[in-house]
Amino acid sequence: MVEVEASQVVPVSAARAWSVVADYRRDPQWRAGVRTMAPDPPGPVAVGTTTAEVLRFAGRTYRSGGVVTAVDAGIRFRWRTTSGLVAEGWRAVRPLGPASARVTLHASVRPVGAQRLLTPVLRPMLLRTLRGDLCRLGALLAR
């Protein structure tokens, strides 16, 4: 299992950050390579929310299903894949003051088949992607 985690302070309230981080429909606006993300039901995450994601990463296109497994509204939610890539993780928002918050993204990915050959380089690639995602999220929230 390859685990990565990245955090960034964003210049908005925790509630504003949560409104974007916890709405999968917004993922293509800030997550690199996400071509489509279709949550069911749409809107803020809830336990049982399912997702259909098309992601371009490392020169390949991946289609994965997912499900939200736990939600502490306004603070953190957990997810895992149900098809495609084998992964799980969480997103969290922690208030730092009235106009700033820390957003943390965590992912654990289990390479399977030929993907296992990429294991030595997968962690730095995923970490770079998460850090870039957080930069894009910060820019989106600052608008």
CATH code for the domain of 124: 3.30.530.20
Given the structure tokens 């497994």, which residue do they identify? 69
How many structural domains does the chain have?
1
Along the 143 residues of the chain, how does pLDDT read in single tens digits? 999 999 999 999 999 999 999 999 999 999 999 999 999 999 999 999 999 999 998 888 999 999 999 999 999 999 999 999 899 999 999 999 999 999 999 999 998 887 787 788 889 999 999 999 999 999 999 98
Q: Beta strand 86-97 with 100-110: parallel, antiparallel or unpaired?
A: antiparallel
Q: Beta strand 50-57 with 76-83: parallel, antiparallel or unpaired?
A: unpaired
Best CA proximity match to 66, nearest among 47, 53, 76: 53
Question: CB of 92 within 8 A of CB of 75?
Answer: yes
Given the structure tokens 């799980």, which residue do they identify? 88
Let me know if 92 is exposed, middle or buried by CB neighbors in 10 A (0-12, 13-18, 19+). buried
Question: CB of 23 within 8 A of CB of 45?
Answer: yes
Q: Which domain holds residue 20?
A: 2-142
Q: pTM, whole model, 2 decimals?
A: 0.94
